[in-house]
Amino acid sequence: MRSSLVLCFVVLVAFGFVVHGSVASNAVGVYDLKKGNFSVKLTNWGATLISVVLPDKHGKLIDVALGYDSVNDYK
């Protein structure tokens, strides 16, 4: 599972370079990777981690990443 997430991350970063042409693009895109109950959200702007959603011991999904409330705050 770890290698598939790393491969997805590498593909998304490469896709960001092809579509936007440079890292300095002002458009912030959000990419969502999901596998079962596990979910990760990343931006194409410095590969900033926005959220990591995991189930707790009772099965309730919870975001465990610390960060800003909106994508625009990362700019």
Residue 54 forms beta bridges with which residues?
62
CB-based burial, 9-26: b 16+ in 10 Å, e otherwise: eeebeeebeeeeeeeeee
pTM: 0.58
Local confidence pLDDT in tens for the 75 residues of the chain:
566 666 666 665 555 554 445 545 567 788 899 999 999 998 887 778 889 999 999 999 999 998 877 777 776
Choose among 5, 63, 7, 74: nearest CA to 34: 5
